[in-house]
Amino acid sequence: MFEDRSDLAVDRHLVVSGRLRTRRLQLGLTQKQLVSRLARRGIRTTNKTLSSFEHGAGVDVVRLPELAGALDCTVTYLLGLTEDPARWEPDRSGAPDNGPVSRPAVLNSPGLVSQPDVHWILGPDIPARPPRR
């Protein structure tokens, strides 16, 4: 059961890496220019780190909103859930690669009703943490 999820996680990771590079090239940006865009968003990184992200090294998922914002696309696009860089909602193509990852039944808490057809992806304008009051 978990082997399939692990394979999906690896596939999703490779999709993100590929999408980072593809989108950067679509925009005509060099790695150095993207690093500058990220710096303006408060993300300190180097060309070397960005290159490793684009070639399959671990991309910190916490940084996906900033990466999406710097690349003028959505997190949904970076995750490979849509082909349209401006679209927030996942495509409904029915292909197994584009489907959401559902939680195994054994991990669902008793008494909670899961809604497998409802999936929300946060955009780059959504703060990572709620504002302090």
- In order of their start, the domains of the chain are 2-107 (1.10.260.40)
Lowest average pLDDT, out of 9-13, 80-84, 95-99, goes to 95-99
pLDDT score for 121: 52
pLDDT score for 20: 94
pLDDT score for 58: 73
pLDDT score for 132: 64
Q: Report the percentage of the chain scoring pLDDT > 90.
A: 37
- pTM of the predicted structure, to 2 decimals: 0.64
Measure Cα distances from 16 to 61, 62, 81 in Å. Answer: 10, 13, 10
Going 20 to 26 to 30 to 34, the CA torsion angle's sign is negative
Residue among 92, 90, 65 nearest 76 (CA)? 90
Q: Per residue in 60-88, is it b (16+ CB within 10 Å) or e — as a string? A: eeebbbbbbbbbebbbbbbbbbbeebeee
